[in-house]
Amino acid sequence: EVMSAPIVINGSKVTVKQAVGQSEMQEAPVSNVTSSRPAEAFKYFIGGLPPDCRTETLESHMNSYGAVKDCVVLTTTDGRSRGFGFVTFETAPLSALLSGSVAVMGQIVSVKESIPQEDFTQRKIFVGGLQPEVDETQLSTMFCQYGPISSTQIIRNRDTQASRGFGFVVFDSEHACRQALARFPGEYNGKPIS
């Protein structure tokens, strides 16, 4: 069941909805996750891969950060790369993996820790209609009044890094997520968002 909170702003109805994971993805990326992770949980999302990157190539690059237990580049039904993948290490990888300067085939990629989808789908919301100047810190500020936040993410254009006008907020608890869905006023700095 999708929870939503309808809001009318300047005569237009906008909605903040609970984010729903894609069924084909077993895991989803979440940044800044800190927890005592079991050994089998050293799994990372790798985004922004070059179009011709294959699983073997990604695994080869990731071996420089630690022993790779499993690696996959996700593809479309016709075999084309979807531009992202997952890598699981046998033990904690080198901290340089999360430095923001990891390159695969000469292209800087996004590396984020992954947590199982069922661990956060009830705590994650989609936020749309964001102004281009809104960053992750401002997104967090918009929603922190409802409870502690695990992570925020603004979705950006891969080439220009400009905001695509939407993002996600993951709360520490389902209660905080429900509070945001029920009480978010639907605007930030006088501008409507959904």
CB burial of residue 36 (10 Å; 0-12, 13-18, 19+): exposed
**Chain segment 51-107, per-residue pLDDT in tens:** 899 999 999 999 999 999 999 998 877 788 888 888 999 888 888 888 878 899 999
What pLDDT is recorded for position 61?
93
129 vs 17: which has the higher pLDDT: 129
Bridge-based pairing state of the strands 27-29 and 149-156: unpaired
Cα 89 to Cα 67: distance, rounded to the nearest angstrom: 6
What pLDDT is recorded for position 39?
42
Does position 115 have pLDDT exceeding 90, yes or no? no
User: What is the pTM assigned to this prediction?
Assistant: 0.46
192 vs 133: which has the higher pLDDT: 133
Instruction: Give me the mean pLDDT over the 101-116 stretch.
Output: 85
Let me know how long the chain is: 194
CA 118, 121, 123 angle in degrees (round to 5)?
120
Q: What is each CA distance from 127 to 77, 86, 169, in whole angstroms?
A: 29, 25, 8
**Chain segment 116-160, per-residue pLDDT in tens:** 655 556 788 888 888 888 899 999 998 999 999 988 999 888 889
Cα 121 to Cα 170: distance, rounded to the nearest angstrom: 8
Q: Where does 78-162 show beta strands of DSSP type E?
A: 81-89, 103-104, 107-108, 110-116, 124-128, 149-156
